[in-house]
Structure 1
Protein backbone atom coordinates (compact mmCIF):
# COMPACT_ATOMS: atom_id res chain seq x y z
CA UNK A 1 0.00 0.00 0.00
CA UNK A 2 1.46 3.33 -1.07
CA UNK A 3 1.32 6.53 0.93
CA UNK A 4 1.19 10.02 -0.60
CA UNK A 5 4.97 10.31 -1.07
CA UNK A 6 5.15 6.93 -2.84
CA UNK A 7 2.23 7.81 -5.13
CA UNK A 8 3.80 11.17 -5.91
CA UNK A 9 7.15 9.55 -6.71
CA UNK A 10 5.56 7.08 -9.12
CA UNK A 11 3.54 9.85 -10.76
CA UNK A 12 6.73 11.85 -11.33
CA UNK A 13 8.36 8.83 -12.94
CA UNK A 14 5.40 7.98 -15.16
CA UNK A 15 6.74 10.01 -18.06
CA UNK A 16 7.94 8.83 -21.47
CA UNK A 17 10.90 11.20 -21.48
CA UNK A 18 12.01 9.97 -18.04
CA UNK A 19 11.90 6.38 -19.34
CA UNK A 20 13.82 7.42 -22.47
CA UNK A 21 16.53 9.07 -20.37
CA UNK A 22 16.94 5.95 -18.22
CA UNK A 23 17.19 3.78 -21.34
CA UNK A 24 19.79 6.16 -22.78
CA UNK A 25 21.80 6.00 -19.54
CA UNK A 26 21.90 2.21 -19.79
CA UNK A 27 22.74 2.21 -23.50
CA UNK A 28 25.48 4.84 -23.29
CA UNK A 29 27.18 3.45 -20.18
CA UNK A 30 26.58 -0.30 -20.51
CA UNK A 31 24.91 -0.24 -17.10
CA UNK A 32 22.12 -2.75 -16.55
CA UNK A 33 20.01 -0.78 -14.08
CA UNK A 34 19.09 2.89 -13.98
CA UNK A 35 16.56 4.73 -11.84
CA UNK A 36 15.22 8.06 -10.83
CA UNK A 37 14.81 7.93 -7.06
CA UNK A 38 12.96 10.24 -4.70
CA UNK A 39 15.31 10.58 -1.76
CA UNK A 40 14.35 12.15 1.55
CA UNK A 41 15.97 12.09 4.97
CA UNK A 42 14.27 8.80 5.75
CA UNK A 43 13.18 7.28 2.41
CA UNK A 44 14.46 6.06 -0.97
CA UNK A 45 11.59 5.48 -3.44
CA UNK A 46 11.96 4.41 -7.08
CA UNK A 47 10.10 6.85 -9.33
CA UNK A 48 11.01 4.99 -12.53
CA UNK A 49 13.46 2.20 -13.36
CA UNK A 50 15.03 0.38 -16.27
CA UNK A 51 16.15 -3.02 -15.00
CA UNK A 52 18.08 -5.20 -17.46
CA UNK A 53 19.98 -7.11 -14.76
CA UNK A 54 17.02 -8.38 -12.74
CA UNK A 55 17.83 -6.20 -9.75
CA UNK A 56 14.16 -6.59 -9.00
CA UNK A 57 12.96 -3.02 -8.54
CA UNK A 58 9.91 -1.35 -10.01
CA UNK A 59 8.39 2.12 -9.58
CA UNK A 60 7.17 2.62 -6.02
CA UNK A 61 9.61 0.13 -4.50
CA UNK A 62 11.75 1.34 -1.62
CA UNK A 63 15.22 0.70 -0.28
CA UNK A 64 16.19 1.31 3.31
CA UNK A 65 17.66 4.81 3.13
CA UNK A 66 20.61 4.06 5.39
CA UNK A 67 21.60 1.25 3.02
CA UNK A 68 22.01 3.52 -0.01
CA UNK A 69 24.78 5.70 -1.36
CA UNK A 70 22.02 8.08 -2.50
CA UNK A 71 21.58 9.01 1.15
CA UNK A 72 25.20 10.16 1.23
CA UNK A 73 24.60 12.14 -1.97
CA UNK A 74 21.56 13.79 -0.37
CA UNK A 75 23.79 14.86 2.51
CA UNK A 76 26.76 16.03 0.41
CA UNK A 77 25.06 17.26 -2.76
CA UNK A 78 27.92 15.74 -4.76
CA UNK A 79 27.72 13.11 -7.49
CA UNK A 80 29.42 9.74 -7.05
CA UNK A 81 30.87 7.91 -10.06
CA UNK A 82 32.66 4.58 -9.64
CA UNK A 83 34.15 2.58 -12.52
CA UNK A 84 35.18 -0.40 -10.44
CA UNK A 85 34.32 -0.67 -6.75
CA UNK A 86 37.03 -3.28 -6.08
CA UNK A 87 39.75 -0.85 -7.18
CA UNK A 88 38.38 2.33 -5.62
CA UNK A 89 40.05 3.17 -2.32
CA UNK A 90 37.01 5.03 -0.95
CA UNK A 91 34.40 2.43 -1.93
CA UNK A 92 35.94 -1.05 -1.96
CA UNK A 93 35.15 -1.61 1.73
CA UNK A 94 31.88 0.31 1.77
CA UNK A 95 28.97 -1.97 2.78
CA UNK A 96 26.47 -0.78 0.15
CA UNK A 97 28.21 -2.20 -2.97
CA UNK A 98 28.66 -5.52 -1.17
CA UNK A 99 25.01 -5.56 -0.07
CA UNK A 100 23.62 -5.00 -3.57
CA UNK A 101 26.39 -6.73 -5.53
CA UNK A 102 27.37 -3.93 -7.88
CA UNK A 103 30.83 -3.18 -9.24
CA UNK A 104 30.08 0.05 -11.10
CA UNK A 105 27.90 2.89 -9.88
CA UNK A 106 26.84 6.40 -10.72
CA UNK A 107 24.48 8.69 -8.86
CA UNK A 108 23.85 12.34 -9.62
CA UNK A 109 21.77 14.66 -7.44
CA UNK A 110 18.52 16.01 -8.84
CA UNK A 111 17.89 19.46 -7.37
CA UNK A 112 14.78 21.44 -8.28
CA UNK A 113 14.88 25.11 -9.32
CA UNK A 114 13.88 26.22 -5.81
CA UNK A 115 16.96 24.47 -4.40
CA UNK A 116 15.04 21.51 -2.97
CA UNK A 117 16.86 18.19 -3.20
CA UNK A 118 14.47 15.86 -5.04
CA UNK A 119 16.55 12.71 -5.34
CA UNK A 120 19.01 11.09 -7.71
CA UNK A 121 19.61 9.72 -11.15
CA UNK A 122 21.43 6.50 -10.36
CA UNK A 123 22.71 3.47 -12.23
CA UNK A 124 24.41 0.24 -11.16
CA UNK A 125 25.91 -2.81 -12.81
CA UNK A 126 27.54 -5.97 -11.48
CA UNK A 127 30.41 -5.49 -13.97
CA UNK A 128 33.00 -2.70 -14.05
CA UNK A 129 32.18 0.10 -16.52
CA UNK A 130 34.12 3.09 -17.79
CA UNK A 131 32.15 5.94 -16.31
CA UNK A 132 34.61 8.53 -15.02
CA UNK A 133 35.64 9.87 -18.43
CA UNK A 134 34.85 13.58 -18.59
CA UNK A 135 32.55 13.16 -21.60
CA UNK A 136 30.54 10.39 -19.91
CA UNK A 137 30.14 12.34 -16.68
CA UNK A 138 29.07 15.39 -18.70
CA UNK A 139 26.40 13.43 -20.56
CA UNK A 140 25.06 11.90 -17.33
CA UNK A 141 25.01 15.30 -15.61
CA UNK A 142 23.10 16.64 -18.62
CA UNK A 143 20.50 13.90 -18.18
CA UNK A 144 20.15 14.84 -14.51
CA UNK A 145 19.61 18.50 -15.46
CA UNK A 146 16.95 17.48 -17.99
CA UNK A 147 15.24 15.39 -15.30
CA UNK A 148 15.22 18.46 -13.06
CA UNK A 149 13.38 20.36 -15.80
CA UNK A 150 10.88 17.55 -16.35
CA UNK A 151 10.16 17.20 -12.64
CA UNK A 152 9.83 20.96 -12.19
CA UNK A 153 7.26 21.00 -14.98
CA UNK A 154 5.21 18.33 -13.23
CA UNK A 155 5.00 20.03 -9.84
Structure 2
Protein backbone atom coordinates (compact mmCIF):
# COMPACT_ATOMS: atom_id res chain seq x y z
CA UNK A 1 0.00 0.00 0.00
CA UNK A 2 1.46 3.33 -0.93
CA UNK A 3 1.00 6.40 1.17
CA UNK A 4 -1.17 7.84 -1.62
CA UNK A 5 -3.79 5.22 -0.78
CA UNK A 6 -3.81 5.95 2.92
CA UNK A 7 -5.24 8.64 5.07
CA UNK A 8 -2.56 10.04 7.42
CA UNK A 9 -2.15 7.94 10.52
CA UNK A 10 -4.87 8.34 13.11
CA UNK A 11 -3.61 7.90 16.64
CA UNK A 12 -4.96 5.04 18.68
CA UNK A 13 -6.15 5.93 22.17
CA UNK A 14 -3.99 5.07 25.17
CA UNK A 15 -6.44 2.33 26.14
CA UNK A 16 -6.34 0.89 22.61
CA UNK A 17 -2.53 0.91 22.54
CA UNK A 18 -2.45 -0.72 25.98
CA UNK A 19 -4.85 -3.42 24.81
CA UNK A 20 -2.70 -4.17 21.79
CA UNK A 21 0.47 -4.09 23.88
CA UNK A 22 -1.08 -6.37 26.48
CA UNK A 23 -1.71 -8.88 23.80
CA UNK A 24 1.74 -9.15 22.47
CA UNK A 25 -0.26 -12.18 21.82
CA UNK A 26 -2.00 -10.07 19.17
CA UNK A 27 0.90 -10.78 16.87
CA UNK A 28 0.78 -14.43 17.84
CA UNK A 29 -2.98 -14.50 17.39
CA UNK A 30 -2.73 -12.95 13.92
CA UNK A 31 0.05 -15.37 12.98
CA UNK A 32 -2.15 -18.24 14.13
CA UNK A 33 -5.06 -16.87 12.08
CA UNK A 34 -2.89 -16.85 8.94
CA UNK A 35 -1.81 -20.44 9.62
CA UNK A 36 -5.37 -21.64 10.18
CA UNK A 37 -6.72 -19.96 7.06
CA UNK A 38 -3.70 -20.52 4.78
CA UNK A 39 -3.99 -16.78 4.02
CA UNK A 40 -1.01 -14.47 4.43
CA UNK A 41 -2.29 -11.21 5.91
CA UNK A 42 -4.40 -10.71 9.04
CA UNK A 43 -5.40 -7.53 10.84
CA UNK A 44 -7.38 -6.25 13.78
CA UNK A 45 -9.09 -2.99 12.94
CA UNK A 46 -11.27 -0.42 14.58
CA UNK A 47 -13.90 1.78 12.97
CA UNK A 48 -14.28 5.50 13.23
CA UNK A 49 -17.31 7.16 11.64
CA UNK A 50 -15.46 7.38 8.33
CA UNK A 51 -12.34 5.21 8.53
CA UNK A 52 -11.06 1.65 8.88
CA UNK A 53 -8.03 1.93 11.17
CA UNK A 54 -5.43 -0.83 11.55
CA UNK A 55 -4.72 -1.69 15.19
CA UNK A 56 -2.46 -4.72 14.64
CA UNK A 57 -1.25 -6.39 11.46
CA UNK A 58 0.54 -9.59 10.49
CA UNK A 59 1.43 -9.13 6.80
CA UNK A 60 3.50 -11.84 5.14
CA UNK A 61 2.80 -10.54 1.61
CA UNK A 62 3.66 -6.93 2.29
CA UNK A 63 0.41 -5.24 1.41
CA UNK A 64 1.99 -2.37 3.35
CA UNK A 65 -0.63 -1.97 6.07
CA UNK A 66 0.82 -0.72 9.37
CA UNK A 67 -0.83 -0.14 12.77
CA UNK A 68 -2.41 3.31 12.74
CA UNK A 69 -2.95 3.34 8.96
CA UNK A 70 -6.43 4.32 7.88
CA UNK A 71 -8.53 3.72 4.78
CA UNK A 72 -11.88 5.27 3.92
CA UNK A 73 -14.35 2.85 5.52
CA UNK A 74 -16.86 2.97 2.68
CA UNK A 75 -14.24 1.51 0.28
CA UNK A 76 -13.70 -1.63 2.39
CA UNK A 77 -15.39 -4.99 2.85
CA UNK A 78 -15.25 -4.29 6.58
CA UNK A 79 -17.85 -1.57 6.08
CA UNK A 80 -20.29 -4.32 5.08
CA UNK A 81 -19.59 -5.97 8.43
CA UNK A 82 -20.11 -2.68 10.26
CA UNK A 83 -23.51 -2.34 8.59
CA UNK A 84 -24.46 -6.02 8.99
CA UNK A 85 -22.29 -7.47 11.76
CA UNK A 86 -21.77 -11.07 10.76
CA UNK A 87 -18.89 -12.97 9.17
CA UNK A 88 -18.11 -12.14 5.56
CA UNK A 89 -16.27 -14.77 3.52
CA UNK A 90 -15.11 -14.10 -0.05
CA UNK A 91 -12.95 -16.93 -1.44
CA UNK A 92 -12.38 -15.13 -4.78
CA UNK A 93 -13.09 -11.40 -4.92
CA UNK A 94 -12.69 -11.13 -8.70
CA UNK A 95 -15.24 -13.90 -9.23
CA UNK A 96 -17.86 -12.40 -6.90
CA UNK A 97 -19.99 -9.79 -8.71
CA UNK A 98 -21.02 -8.16 -5.42
CA UNK A 99 -17.44 -7.35 -4.41
CA UNK A 100 -15.20 -7.34 -7.51
CA UNK A 101 -15.29 -3.56 -8.04
CA UNK A 102 -14.42 -2.40 -4.53
CA UNK A 103 -11.57 0.15 -4.55
CA UNK A 104 -9.52 -0.97 -1.54
CA UNK A 105 -9.14 -4.64 -2.58
CA UNK A 106 -8.20 -3.49 -6.08
CA UNK A 107 -5.60 -1.02 -4.76
CA UNK A 108 -4.09 -3.53 -2.36
CA UNK A 109 -4.41 -6.47 -4.71
CA UNK A 110 -6.16 -8.97 -2.49
CA UNK A 111 -8.23 -11.76 -3.96
CA UNK A 112 -9.61 -13.54 -0.90
CA UNK A 113 -11.06 -12.11 2.31
CA UNK A 114 -12.56 -13.23 5.60
CA UNK A 115 -13.88 -10.64 8.04
CA UNK A 116 -15.52 -11.04 11.43
CA UNK A 117 -16.97 -8.33 13.63
CA UNK A 118 -15.29 -7.52 16.92
CA UNK A 119 -17.96 -6.67 19.48
CA UNK A 120 -17.36 -4.78 22.70
CA UNK A 121 -19.06 -6.16 25.79
CA UNK A 122 -21.77 -3.47 25.53
CA UNK A 123 -22.72 -4.88 22.10
CA UNK A 124 -21.16 -2.12 19.98
CA UNK A 125 -19.15 -3.17 16.94
CA UNK A 126 -15.56 -2.02 17.56
CA UNK A 127 -14.03 -3.19 14.28
CA UNK A 128 -13.02 -6.41 12.56
CA UNK A 129 -10.70 -9.33 12.57
CA UNK A 130 -9.91 -9.65 8.88
CA UNK A 131 -7.77 -11.98 6.82
CA UNK A 132 -6.70 -11.32 3.24
CA UNK A 133 -4.57 -12.87 0.53
CA UNK A 134 -3.52 -11.98 -3.00
CA UNK A 135 -4.61 -15.42 -4.19
CA UNK A 136 -8.01 -17.07 -4.10
CA UNK A 137 -8.40 -19.37 -1.12
CA UNK A 138 -10.55 -22.46 -0.69
CA UNK A 139 -12.13 -22.34 2.74
CA UNK A 140 -13.14 -25.93 3.32
CA UNK A 141 -12.83 -26.32 7.11
CA UNK A 142 -16.37 -26.06 8.53
CA UNK A 143 -14.98 -25.13 11.97
CA UNK A 144 -12.78 -22.29 10.71
CA UNK A 145 -15.31 -19.47 11.06
CA UNK A 146 -16.26 -20.61 14.58
CA UNK A 147 -12.57 -20.65 15.55
CA UNK A 148 -12.05 -17.16 14.10
CA UNK A 149 -15.20 -15.99 15.91
CA UNK A 150 -13.68 -17.12 19.20
CA UNK A 151 -10.59 -15.05 18.42
CA UNK A 152 -12.67 -11.97 17.57
CA UNK A 153 -14.65 -12.34 20.82
CA UNK A 154 -11.38 -12.56 22.75
CA UNK A 155 -10.12 -9.36 21.15
CA UNK A 156 -13.44 -7.64 21.92
CA UNK A 157 -13.22 -8.65 25.58
CA UNK A 158 -9.70 -7.26 25.83
CA UNK A 159 -10.66 -3.93 24.25
CA UNK A 160 -13.74 -3.71 26.49
CA UNK A 161 -11.73 -4.26 29.65
CA UNK A 162 -9.17 -1.65 28.63
CA UNK A 163 -11.88 0.88 27.83
CA UNK A 164 -13.44 0.27 31.24
CA UNK A 165 -10.07 0.82 32.91
CA UNK A 166 -9.47 4.01 30.94
CA UNK A 167 -12.88 5.36 31.92
CA UNK A 168 -12.49 4.63 35.62
Alignment TM class, shorter chain as reference: 0.7 to 0.9
Provide closer, same or farther for how the CA distance between residues 100 and 23 of structure 1 changes in structure 2, counting only shifts above 3 A: same
Provide the C-alpha distance between the structure 1 equivalents of 2:68 and 2:15, rounded to a whole number of angstroms. Answer: 9
The residue correspondences of 1:119-130 to structure 2 (distance < 5 A) are: 119-130=127-138
Measured in 1, the distance between the counterparts of 2:9 and 2:77 equals 23
- 1:1-33 deviations in whole A, cap 9, x for unaligned? 866546554443222122221111111111111
Q: 1:152 to 1:8 in 2, by over 3 A?
A: closer
Indicate whether 1:12 and 2:35 are aligned: no
Task: List gaps (5 residues or longer) in structure 1.
Answer: none
Cα 1:8–1:45 change in 2 (3 A) is farther
Q: Is the 8 A contact 1:48 1:58 kept in 2?
A: yes
CA distance, structure 1, for counterparts of residue 147 and residue 127 of structure 2 = 18
CA distance in 1, matches of 2:17, 2:67: 6
Maintained 8 Å contact 1:82/1:132: no
Instruction: Tell me the number of residue pairs that the alignment of Structure 1 and Structure 2 aligns.
Output: 155
- Structure 1 residue 150, shift from structure 2 partner: 1.9
User: In the TM superposition, what whole-angstrom CA distance separates every residue of 1:14-57 from its partner, at most 9, and x where no partner exists?
Assistant: 22122221111111111111110011221211111001011111
**Corresponding residue of 1:23:** 31
Distance 1:4 1:102, change over 3 A: closer
Alpha-carbon deviations, 1:59-110, whole Å to 9, x = none? Answer: 1111122221112211111221111123334223444432321111011000
Report the equivalent of 1:77: 85
Larger Rg belongs to: 2
* TM-score (norm: length of structure 2): 0.81
Match of 1:115 in 2: 123
